[in-house]
Amino acid sequence: MTTIPGILIPLDCLPAVWEVFQGAYDIPNCQPDYIIDIGANVGLFAIWAKEKWPLSKVYCFEPNPELFPYLQNNASFAENRNAGIGDPTITELFTASNRLCSSQYDLGRQYIDRKTIPITIHHPEIFDFKENTLLKIDAEGAEVYICENLHSFPKWLVVECHSRARFDAVRKSLSKGMKMVQIMPLHDDCYLAKFEKV
């Protein structure tokens, strides 16, 4: 574990620090009153977002019980839930020594040392987005299911897509209510896509 003043980060989660704090998740003209962080991990995006938009109310969802104590410590300003958003019929999380790859789905990156742990998952229909909501989704493979099952759209959305096919499916599912404003490659076959409500 390493500590950035006041922030506790397990070593396997360090690769996310640079990506988040360099502003990869920033969206032009975004001024949210509410921020919902699906796949909050240890709270890095929540911290960055709260610093950028200090008056916003932040809600974090993280299903991994091994990471949730870090989230509670690091994002104590937020309303934190030890639960995920996705297909509620999937009640186990694939995890491995690199907890950045924890997922409801076997993405092939959970390596030989993988294990499964029981989790709580809520269906995406729980959300009724208020005006000026920013939704961030980093759900390690569940992004398509989440986007296909939203019954309303947030004002802004930033979503990590874990393949080009998943990005195409996310874009299609959002096309009736959101326009894409940016897509950027992150690593391997992974993309960060940004959308705004039309």
Residue spans of alpha helices (H) in the chain = 15-21, 44-52, 68-74, 143-148, 164-174
Q: Which residues of the chain have pLDDT under 70?
A: 1-5, 12-16, 95-115
| pLDDT score for 166 | 92
Is there a contact between 152 and 133 (Cβ–Cβ < 8 Å)? no
| pLDDT score for 96 | 56
pLDDT tens sequence across 51-67: 999 999 999 999 988 88
Domains recognised in the chain with CATH numbers: 67-121 (no CATH), 123-140+147-198 (3.30.110)
Distance separating alpha carbons of residues 192 and 82, to the nearest angstrom: 24
pTM: 0.89
